[in-house]
Amino acid sequence: MTDCGQTRKLTRAKLVVLGGQNCGKTGKARQTAINECVGSAASSLESSIRWGDGFLLMYSITDRCSFESISRLKRLIDHSKQTLGIPTVIVANKSDMENGRVVRTEEGQSLASDLRCHFYELSVAEGSSAVEAAFAQLVREVRLEFCRHLLAMDKRSRVLQVRHALRNKLTRSKTMQW
Ligand SMILES: Nc1nc2c(ncn2[C@@H]2O[C@H](COP(=O)(O)OP(=O)(O)OP(=O)(O)O)[C@@H](O)[C@H]2O)c(=O)[nH]1
């Protein structure tokens, strides 16, 4: 077991909800009663991405444009963070509006699988338990990433310590030879 959860804790995950207009971002952020910081794209997109630790990308099943913007947003996040491993979940909202559906569930699932993200189809308006589940998944991923980061830093600092000790030893033996 690692110590990253015990000695150094991630006190708050910074979560950002991004997506096209009218897809339900505001409702979702407001509904989420978890102890995390939730932001949406009120500031510029770039600064929201820089600020965030985890991203919830939302589209509406009644709006194909919002669906098509998801890949672009994911690319922007990957580019800005310079890594593909940023915690991200994809949410298809307005599942209660079956009559107006223009994006099939399988399309959302397939996109999420291509982008290696968890996928949820839900209705913010109906307040389904999937809303909480999506955020909980994102928080879990952010915590996991934080642990990975700490472990990598610990490993790097151990390597530096060993290198330093070796250098000291080598310097001492050289001094003795002289
Ligand atoms: N039927 C239905 N309507 C929803 C749902 N979620 C949000 N809405 C409605 O969609 C509209 C837009 O919701 P918002 O939460 O303001 O969407 P937004 O993405 O923050 O919108 P922008 O401010 O334009 O970015 C509102 O009229 C909501 O009531 C849902 O799950 N089902």
The whole-number pLDDT of residue 169 equals: 72
Can you tell me which atom of ligand 1 is nearest the CA of 23? 19
The whole-number pLDDT of residue 35 equals: 41
3-state SS string for 64-115: HHHHHHHHHHHHHHHHHHCCCCCCEEEEEECCCCHHHCCCCHHHHHHHHHHC
The whole-number pLDDT of residue 43 equals: 60
Q: Is 66 in the pocket of ligand 1 (CB under 6 A)?
A: no
> b/e string for 48-67 if b means 16 or more Cβ within 10 A?
bbeebbbbbbbbbbbbeebb
| CA separation for the pair 145, 132 (Å, rounded) | 20
Check pLDDT > 90 for residue 163: no
Kindly indicate the confidence band of residue 1, based on its pLDDT and cuts at 50, 70 and 90: very low
The whole-number pLDDT of residue 10 equals: 60
The whole-number pLDDT of residue 158 equals: 73
Kindly indicate the confidence band of residue 28, based on its pLDDT and cuts at 50, 70 and 90: low
Q: Is 157 in the pocket of ligand 1 (CB under 6 A)?
A: no
88, exposed or middle or buried, with CB in 10 Å at 0-12, 13-18, 19+? buried
Tell me the pLDDT of the chain averaged across its residues: 83
Least Cα distance to 19 among 79, 125, 94, 81 occurs for 94
Name, of 127-136, 146-155, 163-172, the range with top average pLDDT.
Answer: 127-136
Q: Is 130 in the pocket of ligand 1 (CB under 6 A)?
A: no
Pick the residue whose CA is nearest to atom 4 on ligand 1.
125
Contact 83, 141 (CB under 8 A): no
Q: Is 69 in the pocket of ligand 1 (CB under 6 A)?
A: no
| CA separation for the pair 107, 21 (Å, rounded) | 20
Kindly indicate the confidence band of residue 84, based on its pLDDT and cuts at 50, 70 and 90: confident
The whole-number pLDDT of residue 155 equals: 74
Q: Is 26 in the pocket of ligand 1 (CB under 6 A)?
A: yes
Pick the residue whose CA is nearest to atom 13 on ligand 1.
24
The whole-number pLDDT of residue 9 equals: 61
Computed over its alpha carbons, how large is the radius of gyration of the chain? 22
Please provide the DSSP assignment of 105-154 as one string.
Answer: HHHHHHHHHHTT-EEEE--TTTT-HHHHHHHHHHHHHHHHHHHHHHHHHH
Q: Is 125 in the pocket of ligand 1 (CB under 6 A)?
A: yes
Region 161-178: what's the mean pLDDT?
A: 72
Residue 111 has a CB neighbour count (10 Å cut-off) of 21
The whole-number pLDDT of residue 30 equals: 54
Strand ranges of the sheet holding 118-121, from the earlier edge strand across to the other edge: 37-40, 14-19, 54-60, 88-93, 118-121
| CA separation for the pair 36, 140 (Å, rounded) | 12
Kindly indicate the confidence band of residue 129, based on its pLDDT and cuts at 50, 70 and 90: confident
Tens digit of pLDDT for each residue in 94-126?
999 999 999 999 999 999 999 999 999 999 999
Tens digit of pLDDT for each residue in 39-76?
554 568 888 899 999 999 999 999 999 999 999 999 99
